Structure 1
Amino acid sequence: MDETIPLSALQHYSYCPRQCALIHQEQTFAENIFTLRGQRVHERVDEPDTRCEKGVRIEQALPLFCDRLGLSGKADIVEFSPDGTPRPVEYKHGPRRKKEHDDIQVAAQILCLEEMFGRQVPEGVVFHHSSRRRRLVPITPELRAKVERLAEEVRGMLECGRLPPPATDAALCRGCSLKDACQPEMVGADAAIEEAAESLFEPENY
C-alpha cells in the first residue's frame, strides 16, 4: 500500500463520510466547543511517556501501525499487563456513553497492537473524562470485520477524490465543527432542485 490511512479517519468516516473527506482529503478543519474540549482532554496524553502503576506498564502516545490494513496512528495510552498483553485506552471528553465510532477507533488500535506484538488483544477501553469512568470495548468478530471494511471504504473514498453527500441526520450536523464548510442544507437544496429540474418537462401520467 502506497500510503497509510490515519486511524482517526476510520472514526471520522463512521461518524460521517463527508466529514472524513473534508478533513483527510480537503485538509479542512474548524474548531467548536466539542473539539476544544477534546483537545483539552488529550493534552495530558499527547507527550510520550512510560511509567508503571500497580504492576501495569503504561505507554503514553504510543505510535501504532497495521501493515495488513495500511493503518497508522497513535494511541493515547496502552496498558501492558504483567504477561505483556497490551490494551489501548482512548481518552474522550464527556460522560460515559457508548458511541459506535469510538468503539471502531479502539478496535482499529487493537488490530494494530495485535500485528505489532504478535498476540491477541481481547479488549480496549474508552476513558470518559467528564465522569472519570471507563467503558470496556470487547473486540468482537463483528467489530473486527467492520474495521476492515471501513479501512477499505476510506481508502477507496480518498483515492477517488470525490466528496460524499452530507449526512441525513440533523443531530450529527449540529454537533459537527465542519458544518459551515460542509453546508449540508445548501447541498441538500441543490440536489432537490436538480431532481426537480430533471422531471420538469416529463409528461404527467393520467
Structure 2
Amino acid sequence: MDEDEEPLPLSALQHYLFCPRQCALIHVERQWAENRFTAEGLLLHERVDQGGKSTRDGIRTVRSVPLRCRRLGLTGVADAVELHGKGKDRRPYPVEYKRGRPKAHRADEVQLCAQALCLEEMFGGEVPEGALFYGENRRRTVIRFDAELRALTERIAEAAHAMVRSEITPPPDYSPRKCSQCSLIDLCQPRRLSRPPKVANWLRCQLRD
C-alpha cells in the first residue's frame, strides 16, 4: 500500500473474496442497496454496535472496537473483542457476528483474520484464533489463524487495494445462487451484462432503425 493511499474497510476483503465486482461497486463506485439479507445482518449487529463492556466467566468483552493495520492499509470496527487469559498472558480474541450459517467460501474467515492482524499490530502480540457467530444456528465457529489463512488474507488485501487503485470495476460473472443473495443484483445486472450482445448484432439493429 502506498503511504498516501486511503485505508480500506475490513469489510472490503470479505466483499472481494465473495465477488470482486461487488467489492468494486461498493468501494470504487460507492453504490449500495439493501435486501432481506443485509437487513437481517443489521438486526443481528444492533447489540454489539451499541458498544460497551461486560465481564462474564472471567472473560472481559469490549464491543465495537476500532481497528487499524498500517502494514496492510486496513481499518474498521470489530463487533466484539474478548480478552482471554490473565495478566501478561491476556490476549485479544475477535468475535464477528454474521447472519445465516457457515459458508463454503472463506470470505468471513478472511474478514475475521484481518481483524486479528489489526489487533496484533495494535497490541504487539500474537492472536492465534477468533470466532464467527452465525445467527441462523446461534453457534460459534472457532477459526484458527494459521499460515494458510494469514497468507490468503494478505493476498486478498493486496488485490483489493490494487483494484480500488485502478478504479476499474470487473465485468460480472453470473452465478445464479450467489447473485440471487446479493443486494446489488439490480445495480450489477450480472445476468444481462455477463452475456452482452455482439457488436455486429447491435449494428444491425441500429441500421434497421
Is the TM value for this pair above 0.5? Answer: yes
Task: Report the counterpart of residue 183 of structure 2 in structure 1.
Answer: 177
Residue 81 of structure 1 pairs with residue 104 of structure 2: no
Deviations 1:161-202 (A, max 9, x none): 111111242211111110000011221221x625x77xxxxx
Give the percent of matched residue pairs that are identical in Structure 1 and Structure 2: 48
- Which residue, out of 45, 56, 63, partners 1:60? 63
8 Å CA contact 2:97, 2:133 repeated in 1: yes
Structure 1 SS opposite 2:198: helix
TM-score (norm 1): 0.90
Task: Report the counterpart of residue 15 of structure 1 in structure 2.
Answer: 18
TM-score (norm 2): 0.89
Structure 1 distance, partners of 2:129, 2:120, is 11
Task: Report the counterpart of residue 164 of structure 1 in structure 2.
Answer: 170
Q: How is 1:109-188 mapped onto 2 (pairs within 5 angstroms)?
A: 109-188=115-194
Structure 2 distance, partners of 1:84, 1:169, is 44
Structure 1 SS opposite 2:63: strand
Q: CA RMSD in A?
A: 1.5
Deviations 1:25-68 (A, max 9, x none): 11111111100100100111112211111111101000011111
Structure 2 distance, partners of 1:81, 1:155, is 33
Structure 2 SS opposite 1:51: strand
Structure 2 distance, partners of 1:80, 1:65, is 18
The structural deviation recorded for 1:99 is 4.2
Q: How is 1:87-106 mapped onto 2 (pairs within 5 angstroms)?
A: 87-97=93-103, 99-106=105-112
Residue 72 of structure 1 pairs with residue 75 of structure 2: yes
Structure 2 distance, partners of 1:95, 1:13, is 19
Cα pair distance change 1:53/1:104, threshold 3 Å? same
8 Å CA contact 2:53, 2:61 repeated in 1: yes
Structure 1 SS opposite 2:46: helix
Structure 2 distance, partners of 1:69, 1:75, is 16
Structure 1 distance, partners of 2:51, 2:93, is 16
Structure 2 distance, partners of 1:99, 1:136, is 16
Structure 2 distance, partners of 1:159, 1:183, is 23
8 Å CA contact 1:89, 1:127 repeated in 2: yes
8 Å CA contact 1:167, 1:173 repeated in 2: no
8 Å CA contact 1:76, 1:89 repeated in 2: yes
The structural deviation recorded for 1:118 is 0.8
Q: Which runs of 5+ in 1 are unaligned?
A: 198-206
Count, aligned residues: 195
The structural deviation recorded for 1:14 is 0.4
Structure 2 SS opposite 1:28: coil
Instruction: Return the letter of the residue paired with 1:50.
Output: K
Task: Report the counterpart of residue 38 of structure 2 in structure 1.
Answer: 35
8 Å CA contact 1:32, 1:177 repeated in 2: yes
Structure 2 distance, partners of 1:97, 1:19, is 17
